[in-house]
Amino acid sequence: MRDRFLRAGRRAPVDRTPIWLMRQAGRYLPEYRALREKYDMLAMCRAPELAVEVTLQPLRRFDLDAAILFSDIMIPLRGMGVDFEIKHSVGPIVANPVRDRRDAENLRVVEPERDVPFVMQAIRLLRRELDGKVPLIGFAGAPFTLASYIVEGKPSRDLLRTKSLMYGDSAAWHTLMDKLAASVSAYLLAQIRAGAQAVQLFDSWVGALSPRDYRAYVLPYSKKIFDALSATGVPRIHFGTGTATLLELMQEAGGEVIGLDWRVPLDQAWDRLGDIALQGNLDPAVMLAAPEIVEQQTRAILSQADGRRGHIFNLGHGILPNTPIENVERLVEIVHSFVVETLR
Amino acid sequence: MRDRFLRAGRRAPVDRTPIWLMRQAGRYLPEYRALREKYDMLAMCRAPELAVEVTLQPLRRFDLDAAILFSDIMIPLRGMGVDFEIKHSVGPIVANPVRDRRDAENLRVVEPERDVPFVMQAIRLLRRELDGKVPLIGFAGAPFTLASYIVEGKPSRDLLRTKSLMYGDSAAWHTLMDKLAASVSAYLLAQIRAGAQAVQLFDSWVGALSPRDYRAYVLPYSKKIFDALSATGVPRIHFGTGTATLLELMQEAGGEVIGLDWRVPLDQAWDRLGDIALQGNLDPAVMLAAPEIVEQQTRAILSQADGRRGHIFNLGHGILPNTPIENVERLVEIVHSFVVETLR
């Protein structure tokens, strides 16, 4: 198996810097858009054969070092009793948002094999299809980020309802976060049992919080999940955006790999965090620019890694729908050629 | 005059920590909402008597240490040839967004006395009304944040069009930023000549950028403005949100005071930046919570200031429309009592 992604996750030496891209199976690919004309996004997540096909699409085009299951962080929530749809070019809309303690108490804890068996089935099929060529990453949303969708009821910039519940009704907040932590733990464990060889916890919106609030209201729940997974031995990636002042606390919560957005220079993050692997961190907006800009910014990041072990190249957030295919090809080439030049 | 705000801006000793609030003249005040039922927001900015009245409203209720001119960062842009309206609960909508070099070349540089005489008139009236009781702050949007509205044409989360122009058409970008820097410099100088005793440059959305891009595409232009104002001797506040990794570069661009959002612990910012005044940094969302939470979080920030000279208390961004009046009263009390307890 091409195992440089897993090796980097353990900070073992690698021949080249591994690269994968958040949302690599997604809308920038014409073959994905062609399928989306026929199927609804959630339907594609729920049909194992379609999820497998979409997961494999980017691997046929690009020399990527990992596959990531095609799914959505909202998928397990229906099993908790959260009724949602994904509205095109808006995002998740929740019909029954959680606004008080009773709402939170009414949520169930996910039982993966009962609620989302199609996810594990897709993982098992994928492991067969991938046939050891590259490792398969499973993933889930982190409790805070999932709570933000469940409480707001829709995507929100300021997360004011979420923060108001957090500050104003700590019984409701802790009930909600407890159930999310238990659900996400069970969900990721089931993915690992089904064959996921690494997992990423997406706390995409946690950058809305101060370190003080992260420690009080979020860290204990994310930590429960990482603790629940530690015996599995699979690399655990802990990702968020806007997290420049949260990195040490995210490290404390857990993960072998911390995922960075583009706002934190890779070398500064490493100086702060010490012995840990880092994933990132090209601004996805750079991928809309001319190939020279992509090359220049990619090389700058690779230079900051400075030959340290444990760098997994990625964008700082999901790849954008209008990213040119040629830029992705070029990016993968640059990342794979750079390490050879400098580390051999 | 009650000069503790100006003294803190120079890092001189103060009797109590000064406090003012971004958007203190605004929608959380019933007397403001009453006026807004009769007048359009931009009309209120353009009528000096109304701007004066709204500026004074919060000072009648709260023991604040500074007044800030009621206006909007978009106000000077019409003088540049940017045609916009402010859409209720959306924000600025630009009819003729800048998308290429020709668009940028067609912009004019603001001539404040010709284009926005009402701003200077409001400042002169305000100085008379305030009669030396508290200092008056003038303000402007910073080139990047103004460019983001001008290029996107509407509020945007990712600023993808802005970044695409920045990476993709450097001639257009530099023309646009040059004209904005010249316009903002002239605008703030005119405000200071009219009587503004401090100024704040709002680079509210600059946190979308990596430090690499801030240095290349933004810093030179913000620096031009601070340089143009340095001979005036008035305290210059440099504010942005999401700027945890940009603070040193913002300090390099200029300002006696760096304005922080809530994501950066005050003590950590001070350890990083050294000899400079800091403004902030309570999460505005905390102001929607119970008074005990407001008190607890405010005291935590005051403790982080730890008696260092040069702390101006503020929120980490504008006060939210549904903030309870009682919480503002309580906040001002706590800030003003704390320093007495600890520093006397």
Chain A residue with CA closest to B167: the answer is: A289
B129 vs A258: CA distance, rounded Å = 55
Neighbours of B196 (CB within 10 A): 26
**pLDDT surpassing 90 at residue A88:** no
Contact B230, B212 (CB under 8 A): no
Confidence of residue A340 (pLDDT cuts 50, 70, 90): very low
Given an 8 Å threshold on Cβ–Cβ distance, is B242 in contact with A262? no
Given an 8 Å threshold on Cβ–Cβ distance, is A265 in contact with B163? no
Domains and CATH numbers, chain B: 4-343 (3.20.20.210)
Share of residues in chain A with pLDDT > 90 (%): 95
**pLDDT surpassing 80 at residue A265:** yes
A221 tagged catalytic: no
Over B98-127, what HEC string results?
A: CCCHHHHHCCCCCCHHHHCHHHHHHHHHHH
pLDDT at B306: 85
B46 vs B118: CA distance, rounded Å = 6
Share of residues in chain B with pLDDT > 70 (%): 98
* Phi, psi of B245, rounded to the nearest 5 degrees: -100, 5
Chain A residue with CA closest to B285: the answer is: A160
Helix (H, G, I), strand (E, B), or coil: what is residue A244? coil
**pLDDT surpassing 90 at residue B340:** no
pLDDT at A338: 81
Share of residues in chain A with pLDDT > 70 (%): 98
In DSSP terms, A240 is beta-bridged to: A203
**pLDDT surpassing 70 at residue A343:** no
Chain A residue with CA closest to B156: the answer is: A157
Confidence of residue B341 (pLDDT cuts 50, 70, 90): very low
pTM of the entire predicted model: 0.95
A60 tagged catalytic: no
ipTM value of the model? 0.94
B42 vs B56: CA distance, rounded Å = 18
Indicate the residue of A157, A212, A293 with minimum beta-carbon distance to B167: A293
Catalytic residues of B: 23, 27, 36, 72, 149
Q: Which two tokens stand for residue A14?
A: 């690698």
Mean pLDDT across B226-231: 98
**pLDDT surpassing 90 at residue A94:** yes
User: Would you call B137 an interface residue with chain A, using a CB distance cutoff of 8 Å?
Assistant: no
**pLDDT surpassing 50 at residue B40:** yes
